[in-house]
Amino acid sequence: MSAAPIDRSASEPQDARPRVQSAARAVAILLAVARSDAGLTPREISERVAISRQTAYHLLHTLTGCGVLARDDGNRYVLGLHVGTLAEGFRRQLAPTERLGALVRKVVIATGETAYAAGWWAGAPTTLHVAHGRSTVQAAAVPQGYGDDAHARASGKLLLAHADPALRAEYLQSHALRRLTPWTIVGPRQLDAELERIRAQGYAVDRQEFAEGLSCLAIPLDDGRLPFALGISAPTERFDRAWGDYLDSMRQVTAEALPQR
């Protein structure tokens, strides 16, 4: 079974308040169409975005004229060609340095598991690069660009643990500690204790906190002095047997790659 991305729609920060209503509605339409499997009809868009049919038609006309939406033969609105420019720009701006990408690939070779690089981007602990593992059975993969639910991800918890207190507080104030599985940490005091434990032990683990059947391990670069983390994910049964070996292998990769102090 090959790795499949985990699809969780990004939650809007609680303090985000659009100031231009028409622009906010246009963005909402784009997101609704992007999240659909095969496009949406005007009626479906009107219902999903909670706007009148007339308002929807006006905005759809504008978005189609700009090339970010298009109509297919079934009168459904799909993403237009110009969205490709946005997607390419997103990938380019989010792309890790070649040094980070090389480290991720070395972790895959050392562990056989799907590996990640994560770092702070746009105020959130974000997955910057993913390289799929080589084992026949692979765990689901967190997609590149995912920055929510840091409290439930090994790399997210590690970056929170080593972050400036003001940055950490800002993220936690705008992102709810939502429960994703029965094992997710959802209490602020419990999370504080977990972050303190991560700082003390030098690595972070999530055992089915983000997704059932998935366990992850993350380590900092340069003992947390660099704002990046390396992580792996594996099916929980295999992770429980080998996580100590994974930790040793990942530490060896970073020790060989980073200059000695």
Instruction: List pLDDT tens digits, range 27-82.
Output: 999 999 998 989 999 999 999 999 999 999 999 999 999 999 999 988 899 999 98
Looking at the structure, do residues 123 and 218 belong to the same domain, yes or no?
yes
| CATH number of the domain residue 181 falls in | 3.30.450.40
Give CA 151 to chain center in angstroms.
12
Residue 150 domain flag: yes
In the chain, the number of structural domains is 2
Look up the domain containing 238 and give its range: 95-257
* Residue where a domain terminates, one of 83, 103, 126: 83
224 and 246 inside one domain: yes
What does the pLDDT read at residue 10? Answer: 43
Phi/psi of residue 175, nearest 5 degrees? -130, 115
Q: Are residues 146 and 42 in the same domain?
A: no
Q: What is the pLDDT of residue 145?
A: 87
Question: Does residue 55 sit in the same domain as residue 105?
Answer: no
pLDDT in the model for residue 168: 95
Say yes or no: 167 and 212 in one domain: yes
Tokens of 180: 């994703």
pLDDT digits (tens, 9 = 90+) for 211-258: 999 999 999 987 666 788 999 999 999 999 999 999 999 999 988 876
Q: Where does residue 85 rank: exposed (0-12), middle (13-18), buried (19+ CB within 10 A)?
A: exposed
Supply the CATH number for residue 45's domain. Answer: 1.10.10.10
Report CA-CA distances (Å) from 9 to 17, 101, 116, 147, 154.
18, 25, 20, 10, 19
- Domain assignment present for residue 248? The answer is yes
Give percent above pLDDT 70 in the chain.
85
Cα–Cα distance for residue pair 78/113, rounded to 1 Å: 35
For residues 145 and 114, membership in a common domain is answered with: yes
Which amino acid would we find at residue 138?
Answer: Q
Is the pTM of the predicted complex or chain greater than 0.85?
no
Residue 88 placed within a domain: no
When pLDDT is cut at 50, 70 and 90, the band that residue 6 belongs to is low
Amino acid 144: pLDDT: 85
Token representation of residue 96: 């890790």
Per-residue pLDDT tens for 99-152? 788 899 999 999 999 999 999 988 999 999 899 988 777 767 788 889 999 999
What pLDDT does residue 13 have? 44
